[in-house]
Structure 1
Amino acid sequence: MKLLFLFFVVLTSLGSTLGDGLKCTLKPTDIPSAWIDMVDPCIKALESQVKNEIEAAMTYLAMGAHFARDSVNRPGFSKFFIESASEEREHAIKIIEYLLMRGQLVSDVSKLLKFPLVRKPLREDWNSGVEALSDALNLEAQVTRSIREIIATCENPKNNNFNDYHLVDYLTADFLDEQYKGERDLAGKISTLGKMMSTHGPLGEFLFDKKLLDNHS
């Protein structure tokens, strides 16, 4: 123990004597840039999509918080929308990871999420589960349209002959497929809940909430 203490004292003394001489400094590596081939319209479109996904997540979080209120008390709806918020955040992360894979955002990723560039949730209160699910479906349709616009932009960028086949295929296979399945699921939920409420009134929403809580809807 004494030897360890003595070594620490000597090391501290050397550090104060030599100053910056003991600091490890690494010079930036000169990496060839020929592999970086994304064009500016595609980069800007993807950066904008990160914001769209985060905004959608914020709206879903607002929905989850609304239905978790003691005065509303619909834990199934709250769980469903909180999970939806997590999915939207995952989408934003996947886009950031894709940009990094293609050699973008190497300086400052945080620039994508500076406020107030990311807007507030669309709403903070909903009168019913049907209303919230309808807003969710409209929100997903909006996200789908923005993804389709990115695909159209990157298939034929303006003032550039570069067709980004990889990005188009990635968005079509990974994002659009999930979007369309999610929209169909929401449409089905709206249909089922609407029928249950028309038959059983408020009890229909209560029963539907229990199905959501048990992941049976």
Structure 2
Amino acid sequence: MKHIFVFTLLCIISAIYADELHCKLPDANVPTEWKTMVSDCTRKMRDQVNTELQAAMTYLAMGSHFLQDTVNRPGFAKFFLESASEERQHALKLMEYLLMRGELTTHIEFDKLIDNPKPLATSWSNGVDALKSALDLETKVTSRIREIITTCEEPANKYNDYHLVDWLTADFLDEQYKGQRDLAGKISTLSKMMKEHGVLGEFLYDKTLL
């Protein structure tokens, strides 16, 4: 009982003096000349983090939809849950790039960066419907990335961010175009199978995604 009393007393004292005991370091006064991203370019990059997270949430909703016992398409669920993980990685890569360029320095900036993204939908009529939604989503994500590239190499800014433009082109656009082609192929194959065999065609195609 004595130990409990002492522990409780220590907790109360810690709570009272928490602010006083908090380590507060002075500003480092680091030079800012190395931060060369223009404001429009930075804003577009931050917006893209939210776009990627929204895509991740949408794919997560798709995966959950196909995992339901009333739908039971484990292949589609696996495919979309893996896609959700990829989109989260994209958001993380964008955040890491912004950190590298010195554009995320406070917790307030992080709070604004992740603005409660929600899935664009939560149910789909069948596999073809979900794949078409995914292709539409990826097309919009690609368009947003191209907008960033256009903004960051805009001559009116008097600063062409060659490094960022090359990075987005090599690391993001290439993957986006390949992903879009993959989805288009899946839609084509599944549509033909369902036209000939209906729900059985979807069931059989689902097995190829496992």
With the length of structure 2 as denominator, give the TM-score of the two structures. 0.86
Q: Which is higher, the Rg of structure 1 or of structure 2?
A: 1
Is 2:152 the counterpart of 1:151?
Answer: no
1:113 aligns with 2:91: no
Q: Which amino acid aligns with 1:164?
A: D
Contact 2:59–2:80 (CA<8 Å) still a contact in 1? yes
Once the two structures are TM-superposed, the CA of residue 209 in structure 1 deviates from its matched residue by 0.6
Aligned to 1:178: 175
Compute the displacement of 1:22 (Å).
Answer: 8.8
Identity rate, percent = 62
Find the counterpart in structure 1 of residue 136 from structure 2. Answer: 138
Alignment of 1:209 onto 2:209: no
* 2:95 pairs with 1:96: yes
Return the offset for 1:110: 2.4
TM-score, normalised to structure 1, is: 0.83
Residue 80 of structure 1 deviates from its aligned partner by 0.5
Alpha-carbon distance change, 22 to 196 in structure 1, aligned in 2, over 3 angstroms: closer
Q: Give the unaligned 5+ runs of structure 1.
A: 1-11, 13-18
Contact 2:56 2:88 (C-alpha < 8 Å) held by counterparts: yes
Matched residue count: 193
Match of 1:33, SS?
Answer: coil
Instruction: Please give the alpha-carbon distance, in whole angstroms, between the structure 1 residues aligned to 2:77 and 2:103.
Output: 36
Partner of 1:123: 121
Change (3 A) 1:123 1:22: closer
Rounded Cα–Cα distance in structure 1 between residues aligned with 2:198 and 2:30: 65
Q: Does 1:57 align with 2:56?
A: yes
Letter in 2 for 1:150: I
Displacement, 1:143?
0.2
- 5+ residue gaps in structure 2? 1-9, 11-16
Map Cα deviations across residues 194-216 of structure 1 (whole Å, 9 max, x no partner): 11112222111111111101xxx
Q: Is residue 2:170 matched to residue 1:169? A: no
Query: Given residue 104 of structure 1, which amino acid in structure 2 is its aligned partner?
Result: E
CA contact (8 A) 2:60 2:84 kept: yes
CA deviations over 1:7-61 (Å, ceiling 9, x no partner): xxxxx9xxxxxx9999865322221111110000000000110111111111111
Q: Aligned AA for 1:43?
A: T
Change (3 A) 1:191 1:112: same
The ranges of structure 1 where at least 4 consecutive aligned residues each deviate by more than 6 angstroms after the TM superposition are 19-23
Cα offset, 1:79, TM superposition: 0.8
The 8 Å contact of residues 50 and 115 in structure 2, kept in 1 or not, is answered as: no
